[in-house]
Structure 1
Amino acid sequence: MTANPRPGEKDVVRVLIVDDDTWTARALAQTITASGQIEVVAHAHEGSAAVELFRAHRPDVVLMDVSMPRGMNGIDATERIMRNDAEAKIILITTSCPSLALRRALASGALGAVAKDAPADVLVDVVLSVMAGPSSATLREQTAELLHAVDASTGTDHPVPRLTAAELQTLQLLARGWNYEEIAAHLVISVNTVKTHTSHLRQKLDARNLQQLLVTARAYRFIDPP
């Protein structure tokens, strides 16, 4: 069997849509494919099917519903897919979701989250932009807004992590897109020290990758919106 092309080998972004509501899945597919830059390779309506379809199609991006009442939910499906492929690009989609569930899904390895009823241009931009690199400004902004909305609606009050001055400086420079070497030179510290600060930041903000780190940092107002 010939392997499907990996990201960067072709212009069209191949997407797997996972949503328990068939009409919602179709509407999302119609919205994002209208751009002409995205192809929906399959629909799944519960988590275990999503895992199998991911293995079969190797899509570039997965749009994953968080809450699915039948079968495996989006959190468990995200965890399973990420265990099978650490490079998988998963974007959570939701209309309403408990704060803890959304945060757990992000911690599972999803790059971020976007509302299902977001404008068409936002949905398309989110899908296309995550292919360009690990840090999509549109996705960071959408995720931070979604987390703020669900926290406000549920009255959740998460304790603000305590960051050292060095960690905060490192975080602010990471948000500007600086790499470890640039940060080390600017702060006059070693690259290993920058990596240590970044590791501590990920632990304190419960972030699995840079995308999640910046999203959570903006939700806590450590850094400004993009």
Structure 2
Amino acid sequence: MADVIRVLLVDDDALVRAGLAMMLDGAADITVVAEAGDGREAVTAVDAHFPDVVLMDLRMPNVDGIAATRRLRSRPRPPEVIVLTTFDTDENIVDALRAGAGGFLLKDTPPPRIVEAVTRVAAGDPILSPGVMRRLMERTVVQSGAFERARAALDELTPREREVALAIGRGLGNADLAGELEMNLTTAKTHVSSILTKLGLDNRTQIALLAHDADLA
């Protein structure tokens, strides 16, 4: 059972939760450990059930999905979060990623894709494709002061770590950036971990957004 991915479902629609639970429980390596009807209940459920991945709706009463994601991802040992919603505006996507979500899916996503996303995000991989990532970043308006903060953050990195960060900003995965920068995969992963630690970031997606804010991606 150690390899089974524990999932928490967060949605204010009980029918949506029931459908997701039926679908995910049918996967051999996934089990739904709890459900919650809003972001406030989600925080309590995480404390009680220790999920690996949270499937999070955006628009819910009391505490919305963005606020709940931010609260969960600020914890010492946070679960991964995948936002699952019907609202796919650029603002919603970027806000979710900045809050620490490891991915963003629409509710009409085919079931096999949702199962794949849970597996990938549990392994630490973002589920946005490079093309979608680039499109989102190109259409994101850099907020006041974000450019300076991003440039200052990247200046804290070694030259090699900076190259890795910019490669991530262009949507490259570990294998692709390792090949482009002529390093082995283990070294690439080490650089990514070092960047996350130095800059206090949660995941690769936030590295990509930082490179975008610095106008270098």
Secondary structure, aligned partner of 2:34: strand
1:65-120 C-alpha deviation (Å, 9 max, x unpaired)? 1121x111011111111223443211111111443233222111111111121111
Aligned to 1:56: 48
Is 2:102–2:205's contact at 8 Å kept on the other side of the alignment? yes
Change (3 A) 1:32 1:168: same
Aligned to 2:166: 171
Provide the rounded CA distance (Å) in 1 between the counterparts of 2:12 and 2:29.
25
Q: 2:19 aligns with which of 11, 16, 27?
A: 27
Aligned to 1:111: 102
Aligned to 2:157: none
Say what the alpha-carbon RMSD is for the aligned residues. Answer: 4.3
Provide the rounded CA distance (Å) in 2 between the counterparts of 1:209 and 1:47.
21
Provide the rounded CA distance (Å) in 2 between the counterparts of 1:61 and 1:76.
16
Provide the rounded CA distance (Å) in 1 between the counterparts of 2:168 and 2:23.
36
How far does residue 10 in structure 1 lie from its aligned partner after superposition? 1.2
TM-score w.r.t. the length of structure 1 is 0.65
Change (3 A) 1:173 1:23: closer
Query: Is 1:76 paired with 2:103?
Result: no
How far does residue 177 in structure 1 lie from its aligned partner after superposition? 1.1
Is 2:90–2:140's contact at 8 Å kept on the other side of the alignment? no
Is 2:5–2:29's contact at 8 Å kept on the other side of the alignment? yes
Is 1:19–1:64's contact at 8 Å kept on the other side of the alignment? yes
Change (3 A) 1:106 1:42: same
Aligned to 2:10: 18
Change (3 A) 1:184 1:11: closer
Moved over 4 A (4+): 146-149, 161-164, 166-170, 178-186, 214-218
Where in structure 1 are there 5+ consecutive unaligned residues?
Answer: 1-8
Provide the rounded CA distance (Å) in 1 between the counterparts of 2:96 and 2:164.
28
Provide the rounded CA distance (Å) in 2 between the counterparts of 1:113 and 1:78.
12
Provide the rounded CA distance (Å) in 2 between the counterparts of 1:55 and 1:140.
28
The total of aligned residue pairs comes to: 191
How far does residue 168 in structure 1 lie from its aligned partner after superposition? 6.3
Aligned to 1:158: 141
Where in structure 2 are there 5+ consecutive unaligned residues?
Answer: 155-159
Q: 1:42 aligns with which of 7, 30, 34?
A: 34
TM-score w.r.t. the length of structure 2 is 0.67
